[in-house]
Amino acid sequence: METVQVRLSKELAGVVDASVRKGVYSSKSEVMRDALRNLFAAELKEEILVEAMRRSRSKDFVSQEAVEEEFGL
């Protein structure tokens, strides 16, 4: 995984911290990953389906679930 530094407002950082403190997420990184997955969900889903279809027609066949796992979903 790649490390990315993000600057947040105090208010937003507080929301992230509260989510971790309440046990909703295990870490701040997991909050950010989930937020980004939600933001780009439709685009990622389309990419996953296209990749799964491409592989289903080749010798590299894998399930859609395996492709989703590759994409970190």
Sequence ranges of the domains in the chain: 10-39, 41-70
Residue 73 confidence (pLDDT) above 70: no
- CB atoms under 10 Å from CB of 56, counted, come to 13
| Phi, psi of 4, rounded to the nearest 5 degrees | -130, 130
User: Regarding predicted confidence, which is higher, 55 or 26?
Assistant: 26
Question: Could you report the per-residue pLDDT of 22-52, keeping only the tens digit for each?
Answer: 999 999 999 999 998 888 887 877 877 787 7
Question: Do residues 25 and 31 touch, judged by C-beta distance below 8 A?
Answer: yes
Interval 55-73 mean pLDDT: 72
Residues 6+ apart with CB under 8 A from 6: 32
Question: Do residues 44 and 68 touch, judged by C-beta distance below 8 A?
Answer: no
